Chain A
Amino acid sequence: MTRYKKQDPEITRRKFINVAMGTGAGVGVLSLVSALGSAKPAFRLTAEKAPPLKGDVLVHADPAKYGQPIKPSELTELAIVAYPMGKAKDGTPVIRSAEPNNQIGVYKFDPAQLKAPTKIEDTDNGIVAYSNTCTHAGCFPKSVQGSAIVNCPCHSGQYEPKEGCRVLGGPPNKPMPQLGVKAQGDQLVLTSSFLTSPYGYKSDEEWEAYLKQAEELLA
């Protein structure tokens, strides 16, 4: 049979065009993808964008008192929102507010009220600090007046800061992570960064790797 098969030139031409178009489309898509690659800029870690680091001082995030160190005497059961303030390479102080997920909520409870899973060794006489970025979609929660519960305005996630910021209700599926904090004179100083992975990191390992990288880069 094959011996007698007639080669139709029309078909080969069509085939040629198809192959040419296919190749053209392939090359086009590839170059588009590589061009799109340039849409994502490189990330450069600076002191302003660094995560909270050990030794940072907590300062007010509230625009009215922005940048003033938070005094231990100001603390109550309702969150005071803070940013960590560290030092740039040349020693000048920098507020790490270019990374919005650096927001920290600071509270002071009766030490006897703090229960696990709060890591008591990272609190100071009832003073406790947690990330203030909702682990669901990254909104900024607030204390509910009078009940010391933290409430996320976006999809009504609720957290209990006396118990490790565990989730009381709503869609978040993990607590907002704790940070180690200590009162030193009239200032609050961090004794650690987020103890578990904060919002934006898929796992504790990923977070720890990033933290280590940041510490080395800024040391």
Chain B
Amino acid sequence: MNQWLDDRLHLSRLNDKFLRKAFPVHHSFFLGEITLFSLIVLIITGILLALAYEPSNSMVLNSFDPGTADKPNMLPAAYHSTLKINAMPFGDMLRRIHHWMANIMIAAAVLHMMRIYFTGAFKKPREINWWIGMLLLIFAGLTAVTGYILPYDNYAYSTVKVIYAITASVPWVGDWLAQAAFAGRFPGDGIIPRIYGYHIMLLPGILLALTGAHMLIMIKQKHTQPQYAKRLAYKKIVGVPLMTQQTPIMLLLALLFTGLVVLFAAFIPVHPIEYFGPPSASGVDNIKPDWYLLWVFGALAIIPGFEWEVLGGVINAEFVGAMVFPGIVIGAMFAVPMLDRSKDNQYYAENPTNHPVRLAAGVAFMAMMIVMSVAGYKPELIAGGLLTTQNANTILWILTFLVPAISYFATIGIVRMIRALREADERDSLAHAHADD
């Protein structure tokens, strides 16, 4: 039987090439795996949700509260079906798992990227995989945003309205672009079917294809080796093979982690659509995007309004805040591998303290993201009396640059200290070693 299968499917080749792939033993290498597990759980829960969801924004009679014959209670079908999902056994739970898993997937992806960045694993020959990873991050964000819109409650409605406005703010082609992307002027009759198509077909398809490419390249190029591998066997691959050692570890991790998220979902409610209600004329107070987009929101909040006319197109604050500026940030992240000029292939994960500038730049970058995310809470900061409408922008702008600068120099200082200590240690032990002779 094995022979029969092997003759046809070349299983032994598969075994040698893929199933024997060695995994480095270090906990930070699990971050990518967690991202992958989340994607799998997301797809499974997403399929289950799609079975009960009705992708339409036409109005239907509210089966929970039909109203009277002359004053029927009508709701958008998408919102109504989400209410029904909530009423299903474990329906609300399913939505929560899907939601929290998405948040955790992005968090794990960000941490995974941080490991890659701080250990220099993006260097030659792994630049392509860094770029694919960036694309994965962008498309994961887009998938999350489109997912937010599907319940079509008041929150989703306000969200998609702002996203439409941002799309329409592109100079020259904005109107066309927004109408093409959202099936007509906001809110077009086909807006929910359109976004449903994006969220369950287009974007997951892209995510899966990119994930496949990401992993194939990783298998081909092998992981960077942790430092201990250098001492153990120089320039040799050290680690446990996928079959049969890594697999049980992975399974255990996946189950443990999924269990945790389920527990999480059991206790922390999410996006209470009953509370927000169907799309309505009254806006939602304190509306905020998810944490990973808060920095864009913050940038929008502190860029003062302006409008320039250039050759018949209008360049305004929204476009700059929500498109140009994030474009620059993402562009900078894309460019990371190009800043490295090394000719040799990178085998070993580097100790971040041996690369103080890279480390400090990364820390400063994250500090900037955090300050801008805090700027997203401008209305709360004003309401809380910490800032006033008059000085909020100035103060937040100063912090946006000051805090990263301080973090940069502080990191460099700390790294110098660590290295000085380490060198002193080495000198010490060397001196003692001689004394012992």
> CB-CB contacts of B345-383 with A at 8 A, as 1s and 0s?
000000000000000000000000000000000110010
- In the complex, the answer to whether A39 meets B181 with C-beta atoms within 8 Å is yes
A129 within 8 A of B: no
A62 to B297, CA, bound (A): 28
- In the complex, the answer to whether B180 meets A139 with C-beta atoms within 8 Å is no
> Least Cβ distance of A78 to chain B in Å?
13
B32 within 8 A of A: no
- In the complex, the answer to whether B281 meets A81 with C-beta atoms within 8 Å is yes
- In the complex, the answer to whether A139 meets B158 with C-beta atoms within 8 Å is yes
> Least Cβ distance of B357 to chain A in Å?
35
> Least Cβ distance of B129 to chain A in Å?
26
A154 within 8 A of B: yes
- In the complex, the answer to whether A171 meets B300 with C-beta atoms within 8 Å is yes
List B residues 312-335 near A (Cβ within 8 Å): 314, 316-318
CB contact between A138 and one of B165, B181, B284, B302 (< 8 Å): that residue: B165
- In the complex, the answer to whether B186 meets A153 with C-beta atoms within 8 Å is no
> Least Cβ distance of A148 to chain B in Å?
15
- In the complex, the answer to whether A43 meets B184 with C-beta atoms within 8 Å is yes
Residues of A within 8 A of B379 (CB): 151, 153, 155-156
Which segment of A86-94, A107-115, A162-170 sits at the interface?
Answer: A162-170
B65 within 8 A of A: no
Known contacts A171-B300, A171-B305; A138 and B161 CB within 8 A of each other: yes
Residues of A within 8 A of B284 (CB): 153
CB contact between B300 and one of A40, A155, A158 (< 8 Å): that residue: A155
> CB-CB contacts of A19-49 with B at 8 A, as 1s and 0s?
0000000000000000011011101000001
A84 within 8 A of B: no
Known contacts A103-B281, A156-B389; A173 and B305 CB within 8 A of each other: yes
Which residue of chain B has its CB nearest to the CB of A38? B180
B187 within 8 A of A: yes
A37 to B287, CA, bound (A): 33
- In the complex, the answer to whether B184 meets A40 with C-beta atoms within 8 Å is yes
List B residues 174-222 near A (Cβ within 8 Å): 176, 179-181, 183-188, 190
> Least Cβ distance of B162 to chain A in Å?
5
> Least Cβ distance of B234 to chain A in Å?
43
B244 within 8 A of A: no
Known contacts A136-B305, A153-B286, A173-B306; A41 and B190 CB within 8 A of each other: yes
**Which of A37, A62, A138 has the most chain B CB atoms inside 10 A of its CB?**
A138
A219 to B300, CA, bound (A): 41
> Least Cβ distance of A48 to chain B in Å?
11
| Band of interface residues on A | 35 or more
> Least Cβ distance of A106 to chain B in Å?
13
- In the complex, the answer to whether A136 meets B283 with C-beta atoms within 8 Å is no
List A residues 117-175 near B (Cβ within 8 Å): 135-142, 151, 153-156, 158, 167-174
- In the complex, the answer to whether A153 meets B285 with C-beta atoms within 8 Å is yes
Residues of B within 8 A of A168 (CB): 389
A6 within 8 A of B: no
- In the complex, the answer to whether A39 meets B180 with C-beta atoms within 8 Å is yes
> Least Cβ distance of A8 to chain B in Å?
33
Known contacts A153-B285, A155-B300; A137 and B180 CB within 8 A of each other: no
A65 to B180, CA, bound (A): 35
B280 within 8 A of A: yes
Which residue of chain B has its CB nearest to the CB of A139? B283
B274 within 8 A of A: no
- In the complex, the answer to whether A154 meets B166 with C-beta atoms within 8 Å is no
- In the complex, the answer to whether A158 meets B389 with C-beta atoms within 8 Å is yes
- In the complex, the answer to whether B389 meets A136 with C-beta atoms within 8 Å is no
Residues of B within 8 A of A172 (CB): 305
Residues of A within 8 A of B281 (CB): 61-63, 81, 83, 97, 100, 103, 140
CB contact between B176 and one of A40, A62, A63, A141 (< 8 Å): that residue: A40
Residues of B within 8 A of A36 (CB): 180
A5 within 8 A of B: no
Known contacts A155-B378, A156-B301; A173 and B307 CB within 8 A of each other: yes
A100 to B280, CA, bound (A): 9
Residues of B within 8 A of A61 (CB): 280-282
A142 to B165, CA, bound (A): 19
User: Which 9 pairs from chain A and chain B are nearest by CB?
Assistant: A173-B305, A140-B283, A169-B389, A61-B281, A40-B180, A155-B301, A156-B379, A39-B180, A137-B165
Some 30 contacts from A to B, beta carbons below 8 A apart, are A39-B183, A40-B176, A40-B184, A41-B183, A61-B280, A61-B281, A62-B282, A63-B280, A81-B282, A83-B281, A97-B281, A99-B185, A100-B161, A100-B281, A137-B300, A139-B283, A141-B283, A153-B286, A153-B287, A155-B297, A156-B382, A156-B389, A156-B392, A169-B392, A170-B389, A171-B302, A171-B303, A173-B306, A174-B305, A200-B168
B residues with a Cβ closer than 8 A to A are 158, 161-162, 164-166, 168, 176, 179-181, 183-188, 190, 277, 280-287, 297, 300-307, 314, 316-318, 378-379, 382, 389-390, 392
